[in-house]
Chains A and B, each alone.
Chain A
Amino acid sequence: MIKKDLSIEFLGVKFENPFCLSSSPVGNCYDMCKKAYEVGWGGVVFKTIGPKSYFIDEVSPRFDKLNKENTPFVGFKNMEQIAEHSLEENLRDLRKLKKEFPNKVLIASIMGNDEKTWEDLARMVEEAGADMIEMNLSCPQMTSHAMGSDVGTNPELCKKYCQAVKRGSKLPMMAKMTPNITDMVPVALACLEGGADGIAAINTIKSICNIDLDKKIGLPIVDGKSAISGYSGKAVKPVALRFLQQMRQDPRLKDLPISGIGGIETWEDAAEFILVGASTLQVTTGIMQYGYRIVEDMKNGLMHYMEEQGVEHLSELVGLANKNIIPAENLNRDYIVRPTFDYDKCVKCGRCYISCYDGGHQAIEWDAENRKPTCNKDKCVGCLLCGHVCPVGAISKGEITIKAGRKTKAKDVRL
Chain B
Amino acid sequence: MDSNYKKELEPGFSPLTVCEEASRCLLCLDAPCSKACPAGTSPDKFIRSVRFRNFKGAAETIRENNALGAICARVCPTEKYCQKGCSRSGIDRPIDIGRIQRYVTDYEESLKMEILKAGKANGKKVAIVGSGPSALQAAVSLRSLGYAVEVFEKEKVLGGMLRLIPEYRLPDRVVDKEIERIEKLGVKFHVGECVGKDVKLEELKKAFDAVLLAPGYSYGKMLPAFEGNPNVVLAVDFLREVKAKKGEVKVPANVLVVGGGDVAMDVVTTLKLLGVEHVTDVVYEQFKEFKASKKELEGAQRLGVTIMDGYVPAKVEGKVVSFAHREIKGEVKIEADKIILAVGQYPDVSGLGVELVKGEVNEGKKYFTKDPKVFVCGDIAKSEFDKTVVGGVRTGKEVALYIDAALGGK
Contacts and interface: CB of A to CB of B under 8 A. Distances in A.
Interface of A: 69-70, 346-351, 353-354, 366, 368, 371, 391-392
Given A354-B29, A371-B30, A347 B20 contact: no
A371 B32 CA distance: 10
Given A69-B19, A70-B19, A351 B28 contact: yes
A70 B53 CA distance: 10
B16 interface: yes
A384 B6 CA distance: 54
18 contacts: A69-B19, A69-B22, A69-B51, A347-B89, A347-B91, A348-B28, A348-B87, A348-B90, A349-B26, A349-B27, A349-B28, A349-B29, A350-B28, A350-B30, A351-B28, A354-B29, A371-B30, A392-B91
Contacts of B51: 69
Interface string B14-39: 00100110110011111000000000
Interface in B254-289: none
B16 A349 contact: no
Interface of B: 16, 19-20, 22-23, 26-30, 51, 87-91
B29 A353 contact: yes
A231 to B, nearest CB: 21
Contacts of B30: 350, 366, 368, 371
A349 B26 CA distance: 7
Contacts of A349: 26-29, 87
Contacts of B91: 347, 391-392
3 shortest interchain CB distances as A-B pairs: A350-B29, A347-B90, A349-B26
B8 to A, nearest CB: 24
A348 B23 CA distance: 17
B16 A70 contact: yes
A346 B88 CA distance: 11
B27 A70 contact: no
A347 B87 CA distance: 6
B76 to A, nearest CB: 23
Given A348-B28, A392-B90, 16 more contacts: A69-B19, A69-B22, A70-B23, A347-B90, A348-B90, A349-B26, A349-B29, A351-B26, A351-B27, A351-B28, A353-B29, A354-B29, A366-B30, A368-B30, A391-B91, A392-B91
A351 B51 CA distance: 15
A31 to B, nearest CB: 32
Contacts of A350: 28-30
B29 A351 contact: yes
B26 A391 contact: yes
Contacts of A348: 28, 87, 90
Contact of A366 (B20, B27, B29): B29
Contacts of A353: 29
B252 to A, nearest CB: 48
Contacts of A391: 26, 91
A350 B34 CA distance: 14
Contacts of B19: 69-70
A366 B30 CA distance: 10
Contacts of A366: 29-30
B31 to A, nearest CB: 9
A349 B94 CA distance: 13
Q: Is the interface of A mostly helix, strand, loop or mixed?
A: loop
B388 to A, nearest CB: 27
A366 B91 CA distance: 21
A42 B29 CA distance: 49
A69 B23 CA distance: 7
Specify which of B20, B51, B88, B90 lies most central, judged by the most chain A CB atoms within 10 Å of its CB.
Answer: B90
A351 B90 CA distance: 14
A368 B30 CA distance: 8
A349 to B, nearest CB: 4
A373 to B, nearest CB: 9
A353 B31 CA distance: 13
A134 B90 CA distance: 52
Nearest to A392: B91
A130 to B, nearest CB: 43
B167 to A, nearest CB: 32
Given A348-B87, A349-B87, A70 B20 contact: yes
Nearest to B89: A347
A347 B27 contact: no
A353 B26 CA distance: 13
A354 B48 CA distance: 14
A368 B26 CA distance: 17
Contacts of B22: 69
B29 A347 contact: no
A13 B20 CA distance: 45
A351 B48 CA distance: 13
A335 to B, nearest CB: 30
A368 B19 CA distance: 29
Nearest to A347: B90
Specify which of B19, B22, B27, B29 lies most central, judged by the most chain A CB atoms within 10 Å of its CB.
Answer: B29
Contacts of A371: 30
A347 B26 contact: yes
A371 B27 CA distance: 14
A368 B16 CA distance: 34
A302 B19 CA distance: 33
B231 to A, nearest CB: 52
B88 A347 contact: yes
B91 to A, nearest CB: 6
Nearest to B53: A69
Contacts of B26: 347, 349, 351, 391
B187 to A, nearest CB: 36
Contacts of A392: 90-91
Nearest to A350: B29
Nearest to A348: B87
Nearest to B50: A69
A347 B86 CA distance: 9
A348 B89 CA distance: 11
A307 to B, nearest CB: 31
B111 to A, nearest CB: 15
A286 to B, nearest CB: 21
A329 to B, nearest CB: 37
B47 to A, nearest CB: 12
A347 B28 CA distance: 10
Specify which of A346, A349, A354, A368 lies most central, judged by the most chain B CB atoms within 10 Å of its CB.
Answer: A349
Nearest to A353: B29
Nearest to B16: A70
A385 B16 CA distance: 30
Nearest to A394: B90
